[in-house]
Amino acid sequence: MEGGDQNSITRAYVGLGSNVGDRAGYLLLAIHGMMRAGLPIKRLSSVYETEPVDLREQPRFLNMVAELEGALPPPEAMLRALLHIERELGRHRQVARGPRTIDLDLLLYADLQLRTELLILPHPRLHLRRFVLTPLAEIAPLTIHPSFGKTVRQLLAEVNDESAVRLWRPARDRQP
């Protein structure tokens, strides 16, 4: 599947995270940025406060997942739009996996498996991270990971990541 056929309905999931400044504000600005970019957000998970995983000496994150559904741009074009939003919101990539105003990760794009210089789908660490699997399982528990053939709910039950993931703000209305 090439993805992005303007006449077809495609579903994708984007992970959002922030651990600098007004974390909740940056999540909201990123959601608005995605809508301005024409990315059709269908629903949003709750917001979770999470421990940093890779570089532990940094502030806690707020994380959530957005489900996009509709006539989506091709995956690499979507990634470029997400990177543009990150830059607009002051994301600087000086320290790998370090503190950030906003982090937008394309997690899944339909059932596409892709490996290019720019993008790997599904996200290569999706199945290893409780802070991604928890909000994703909230809104898409039965979605199948195309590489493993398991549901998101199954991946969450099996993940070895013991980092703390705490509900911070429940989704009141899952619509953006």
Residues annotated as catalytic are 91, 100, 103, 105
Which residues on adjacent β-strands are paired with residue 62?
A: 18, 49
Which residues on adjacent β-strands are paired with residue 114?
A: 121
> Rounded to an integer, what distance in angstroms lies between the CA atom of residue 12 and that of residue 165?
23
> Rounded to an integer, what distance in angstroms lies between the CA atom of residue 100 and that of residue 123?
19
Q: CB 116: neighbour CB atoms within 10 A?
A: 10
Let me know: does 136 contact 63? Beta carbons within 8 Å.
no
- Give the CA distances from residue 44 to residues 137, 139, 143, 161, 169, in Å, rounded to whole numbers and listed in that order: 12, 7, 15, 23, 12
Task: Tell me, rounded to whole angstroms, the distance of Cα 61 from its chain centroid.
Answer: 13
